[in-house]
Chains A and B, each alone.
Chain A
Amino acid sequence: MNNWFISTLFLVITIFIFYGSKRLYQRFPNPFTLPIFMSTFSIVIFLLIFDIPYQTYMQGGKWIDLFLGPIVVSLAVPLYRQRMLIKKYVKAITVGILSGSTVGIVSGIAMAKGFGFQQEIIRTIAAKSVTTPVALGVTDTVGGNLSLAAVFVMIAGISGAMIGPGVVKLFRISHPVARGLGIGTASHAIGTAKALELGELEGAVSALSMTISAVVVSLLVPFFIYILV
């Protein structure tokens, strides 16, 4: 009876906090009020205050985790809707995403290795540029740490959304396709929300880049881990 009660309790708390955070974000949109950031932060504080172990929380959370794999499949729908755009810029998209994904993986692995981190961390940083559910799948395949991977992905997303517009300006990246592609490849959905503020084409390209780069990264990470680690 206790298990059933605890499961339901934490499931309801998570849903409640998420939708509360979402309303907060709608009122005060800012990278630090993003629902994923605020919800995580609030639940962590809640667990710390009441001294609840993560394992207990996960009796409810595990039901939500079941969707992590299937949600990746859903990305096929926005990708399908953007197929004309992909066709139109196929060459630039191929060059940009392949180079961006490679740079993200290699620079991440190189820095983690350079700072002398252990294997697990090196394997965790590799997929940090892609959308969370894919990053988790990739990290799981190569033997990294899932919770740290989720946080690394969030850092890449929030920082890219905050400094992305400045970076494209600094490097004189003016073409909307190039701007959207850079931000989407580096900062997935959080970056895409920002790219949409730069323009409609920027947003659309960012969205498709986030999905295509996720596929590319899932192919490249095992390869680079094999040759570099």
Chain B
Amino acid sequence: MFTWTKRILQIAVLFLFYYIGEAIQAYFSLVIPGSIIGMLLFFLLLTAQVIKIDWVEEGIDFIIKDMPIFFVPVTVGIIQYFDFFYGKGIIMIPSIILSTIFVIAIAGLLTQFTLKNGDNRNE
């Protein structure tokens, strides 16, 4: 029982940072999603050791393990847009695949180039 109370509290931390992020976004009218602001804030506090990783990791690892379940309802929403893929929307599929190939190739090549030609004193 104690394990579950702890996990729920640790997961509540995510909600807390999310709402703080949303509040910051709204207050400054930023274009970045509040969730990202909350994540960066949480990361900073972890790095600064203000929040110790072992205070939060168990519940968060639990929720990360099955993360895709949270995407199911919104993805099921595609049921409303079948018309899109029956029509010319179908060309979005090869376009996305092509764009994905570009990203892998260019990011990979430039990373490799930087690793080989840059300052490698850390290796």
- Residue positions of A touching B, CB distance < 8 A: 14-15, 17-18, 22, 34-36, 39-40, 43-44, 47-48, 54, 57-58, 60-62, 64-65, 67-81, 83, 88-89, 91-93, 95-97, 99-101, 103-104, 107-108, 111-112, 115, 117, 121, 125, 128-129, 132-134, 136-138, 140-142, 145-148, 150-152, 154-156, 159-160, 163-164, 167-168, 170-171, 173-175, 177-179, 181-183, 185-187, 189, 209, 214-215, 218-219, 222
Contacts and interface: CB of A to CB of B under 8 A. Distances in A.
Contact of B31 (A141, A182, A186): A141
B50 interface: no
B39 interface: yes
A80 B74 contact: no
A54 B103 contact: no
B76 interface: yes
A93 B111 contact: yes
A58 B21 CA distance: 26
A3 B11 CA distance: 27
Interface string B78-104: 111100100011011101111111111
A164 B15 CA distance: 34
A36 B75 contact: yes
Contacts of B107: 96-97, 99-100, 103, 178, 181-182, 185-186, 209
B71 A133 contact: yes
B36 interface: yes
A43 B14 contact: no
Interface residues of B, number: 74
B99 A104 contact: yes
A185 B108 CA distance: 9
Contact of B111 (A145, A159, A175): A175
A92 B38 contact: no
A47 B79 CA distance: 9
A113 to B, nearest CB: 11
